Structure 1
């Protein structure tokens, strides 16, 4: 099956056929809620068997009755391909057969973002300290080679903010407004000038978190 990255139009068309999934940060992502932890483990085992059949392996995370799953093609630069679409379709069928329901708005993707005028001057420190690596086509970010921790993104700017670190939380587009409203109700100041791509929320101490959607910063892995 073709392992070439899908372009934006092909990705949009694929997602229209995949109601259980959302495209975000170079992967197809969702969560399935199983009737019980035992059934969740059956789903993990089923996806494992599917991965062996396809010679294509997702990231899976089992949490009690929830199974978080993301499909991406490493050989295509951590981008979505036709193989991922086919794998997602079959994963949904496995879940349905086990009585697990998709909750595609549940997963959130976390990135640590650092304002800097010169990523090359600082990235080596963070790569070494975290054991992270660069990926081809994504020069301003570092990634956990085991796909466990959040990525680190170096936001190029000649005028770094006083609080240089901030968090980028990427969510499904339909979940963003409710999340922004909840964080604002918890006491954050809101800057929605770049919405719906991202909304900047600032706490009382000046620390920021950006709620991002698939229309956020250009993603070299999409």
Structure 2
């Protein structure tokens, strides 16, 4: 079982990504999307990644969408953080993708979370956990044990927003710029006080969402 000493620090994480151009960091994992020439080629890539996973005894979350394969590596036995095993697995998957003629499109991999304002997270968390079939994650967040549904986190505040729910959409910093520009062009109110970590977006009816990047979620230096 991995220990905390195996978790990549911010410096080691940046060094790993420097030699993994196909990959991005996202909420405790390395993520990417590969576009294969055909759906059949995508299935061949999935099979290749599966063989690697068995050989490495390190299995990714993987999703197939026609000719695109979405992949996420994280180390569950290290508290859902990134370790050297994830970096090695990502590198091997990149090699397999190259052999399959697939091209990386990491900007397509976005992650969604639901945020809830509350004065007392403990009072409501169990309702949401049971109803969704989720489990408790780091820091009291709720996560889908199968990695399919959006995560849920509770923003403890003495003054909850009148609209207690908001959506966090996580993009990689490398791809966030065009998304912010297009969102601003819709006429939404853009609060950039916390950029580039996140930008609070409010629509014409007062509904909020946050466009987030990995800057607000990378491990701190030890």
CA contact (8 A) 1:2 1:83 kept: no
Shift of 1:86: 0.3
- For 1:84 and 1:128, the matched residues in 2 are separated by 30
- For 1:121 and 1:79, the matched residues in 2 are separated by 28
Shift of 1:133: 0.6
Residue 26 of structure 1 is matched in structure 2 by 28
Is 1:204 the counterpart of 2:181? The answer is no
CA contact (8 A) 1:47 1:91 kept: yes
Structure 1 residue runs of 4+, over 4 Å off? 217-220
User: Pairwise mapping of residues 131-210 of structure 1 onto structure 2 (< 5 A)?
Assistant: 131-135=133-137, 138-210=138-210
- For 1:92 and 1:172, the matched residues in 2 are separated by 18
Residue 56 of structure 2 is matched in structure 1 by 54
- For 1:194 and 1:153, the matched residues in 2 are separated by 19
Determine which of 75, 78, 84 is the counterpart of 2:77.
75
Q: Which has the higher helix share?
A: 2
CA contact (8 A) 2:10 2:218 kept: no
Q: Deviations over 1:160-179 (max 9, x none)?
A: 11101000011010211211
CA contact (8 A) 2:27 2:218 kept: no
| TM-score, L = length of structure 2 | 0.94
Q: Deviations over 1:34-60 (max 9, x none)?
A: 011110010011101111111111000
Aligned residues: 218
Which runs of no fewer than 5 residues in structure 1 stay unpaired?
none
Residue 65 of structure 1 is matched in structure 2 by 67
Change in CA separation of 1:143 and 1:2 when aligned onto 2, cut-off 3 Å: closer
Shift of 1:193: 1.1
Change in CA separation of 1:218 and 1:114 when aligned onto 2, cut-off 3 Å: farther
Residue 39 of structure 1 is matched in structure 2 by 41
| TM-score, L = length of structure 1 | 0.94
Change in CA separation of 1:122 and 1:2 when aligned onto 2, cut-off 3 Å: closer
CA contact (8 A) 2:113 2:169 kept: yes
Which runs of no fewer than 5 residues in structure 2 stay unpaired?
none
Residue 95 of structure 1 is matched in structure 2 by 97
